[in-house]
Structure 1
Amino acid sequence: MDLFNIITNQKEYWLVDQIKKENVGSNDYQKQFSSILNDWIEERIGYLSLLMDENQEEWLMSKGFEKISSIVEYIRSLDSLPDIDEEMDYHSLSEGSMSDQEFRLLYDRCRTGTLNKNKQQSMDKVMHAIETELGPNWRKHCYYFTKSDSLLGICIPHIEMGTNDEGRLFYFGVTPEFRGQGTGVNIHKIALHLLKNHFSAKNYVGSTDTSNQPMIKIFEQNGCQLRDRKGIYRIEKEN
């Protein structure tokens, strides 16, 4: 039984996310994760980032992990979605109207002043992760939003690894000058439509840092329900 999703970049990092299942005890999770951790140690990869129930925190600390933050996870069925803002335009990077470099710069603007406490990667690593995790058609996942020729923000919808219909956003962000105006709610709403209509998602799962109240409000305003809370833990390879 797989109790963790794992995304690996063989040279730089492993991203591990606990899959919570009924009737699975702490010992089972610890046993399986210990095997994952041992494999990571043998590979000597740069770092391992873990999302896991906070009731495992003491055990993780004893293994050398540092706690980065806590996140909340929200879920929403995509069966029935509210109408979107028809005045907001959106395009995928695959259409060719924006260059990869322009999208990269817009992404970097959107993450300026983030309230999330997780460590930011360089944009080189971010773009490499998008290409690696989303595959050769990654540009079809990268959307940017405009209104009256102003760049408002971006989203990167995809189907979660190991599932057929669980919609996720690799990233969602609003440019600093358009925050606090309802822009984020509208972009997120369109992102839900994209997940349903372009990627055949049945449900949406989103997460954010517990300190990111604006994002939590966006989840709630767009009908998402709180599902879970996890800690973010990180361990670096020994030199």
Structure 2
Amino acid sequence: MTIIKQLEKNFKVRRGVSSSITIEENNAIAFTEKQMEEVVQHYIDEATKEELQNLHFEISSKSPNYDVYKKCFQVNHFENSGEKIVVFKDIHSIEDVENEFDLKLIEEVGEAEFQSIWHETLKGSVELKEPMLFEQFVSVLQKEMGERWKEYCLTITVNEKTIGIIIPYIERGTLEEGKLMYFGIVPSMRGKGYEATLFEKAMFVLKEIGATYYIGNADVENKWMKDVFEKTNCRQLSSTERYTKTITQG
């Protein structure tokens, strides 16, 4: 096994829309400056070969490589493009919430209706950094969840009024780490008290599919999502910084 292959095991690669790729540190293992330069250059080469527009690295404020990263990013002309908080919630013993939510899969509402609701939930979002088509969103779901991605996509209604969409799933490579690929509420239903209750419902769904804890994140500018985390007693673990390098002009 080559040195770069050994180093690659310490990172998660997340493919976003067709024009970008995000690299996240997977293990808190210290690297030398030379090793870090090899890793960063490897992903620059990969992104260039694939003709991607952007390469992103997300690094934790608690990473033992924090200073090494920043020096390497400066040398390779990456720019700081945002910051997120990372939160944790123990859901091992969470109970279902009493509510009138009606959860339906894509097969029950139809893909066209699901797509329409998804577009509505995007309005006013501070999380969306790049324009995204529904086909690109589906591609991301397939890469993260496989061909059974539709089984995780749920629409939410109350008294036949559309509330939004949740997509709970188990993180790849783990057995118990719950994630929300998507948590969105349509603009007309925001600020009406559904946010925290729907989030708790999503946590219960995660428990039902085998998760014992939840790890989530939100942009520091996303007051709406940070408020949901606070109301549902999520605990902040750390923060991450995103560094971006433009590979090709779109």
TM-score for both structures, normalised by structure 1: 0.87
Give 1:47 deviation, angstroms: 2.6
Asked if the contact 2:166/2:180 (under 8 Å) is kept, the reply is: yes
Aligned residues: 235
C-alpha distance in structure 2 between counterparts of 1:65 and 1:208, whole Å: 21
1:66 aligns with 2:112: no
For 1:53-75, what per-residue CA distance to the aligned partner results, in whole angstroms no more than 9, with x for missing partners?
A: 36434532431323321111101
Give 1:80 deviation, angstroms: 1.9
Equivalent position SS for 2:97: coil
Q: Which runs of 5+ in 1 are unaligned?
A: none
Deviates more, 1:42-51 or 1:100-109: 42-51
Q: Please, which of 218, 227, 235 is the counterpart of residue 217 of structure 1?
A: 227
Give 1:25 deviation, angstroms: 4.8
C-alpha distance in structure 2 between counterparts of 1:92 and 1:116, whole Å: 24
Which position in structure 2 is the counterpart of 1:78?
Answer: 91
Q: Please, which of 2, 13, 26 is the counterpart of residue 6 of structure 1?
A: 13
Tell me the amino acid that sits aligned with residue 182 of structure 1: G
C-alpha distance in structure 2 between counterparts of 1:40 and 1:20, whole Å: 22
Equivalence map 1:85-234=2 (5 Å): 85-93=98-106, 96-116=107-127, 118-198=129-209, 200-234=210-244
Which position in structure 2 is the counterpart of 1:24?
Answer: 30
Asked if the contact 1:69/1:117 (under 8 Å) is kept, the reply is: no
C-alpha distance in structure 1 between counterparts of 2:215 and 2:17, whole Å: 26
Which position in structure 1 is the counterpart of 2:3?
Answer: none
For 1:9-31, what per-residue CA distance to the aligned partner results, in whole angstroms no more than 9, with x for missing partners?
A: 7964322112251x625645554
Equivalent position SS for 1:204: strand
* CA shift in 2, pair 1:231/1:10, >3 Å: closer
C-alpha distance in structure 1 between counterparts of 2:208 and 2:15, whole Å: 29
Tell me the amino acid that sits aligned with residue 78 of structure 2: F
C-alpha distance in structure 2 between counterparts of 1:73 and 1:151, whole Å: 29
TM-score for both structures, normalised by structure 2: 0.83
Which position in structure 1 is the counterpart of 2:248?
Answer: 238
Q: Percent identity?
A: 20
Q: Which runs of 5+ in 2 are unaligned?
A: 1-6
Asked if the contact 1:3/1:19 (under 8 Å) is kept, the reply is: yes
C-alpha distance in structure 2 between counterparts of 1:24 and 1:76, whole Å: 27
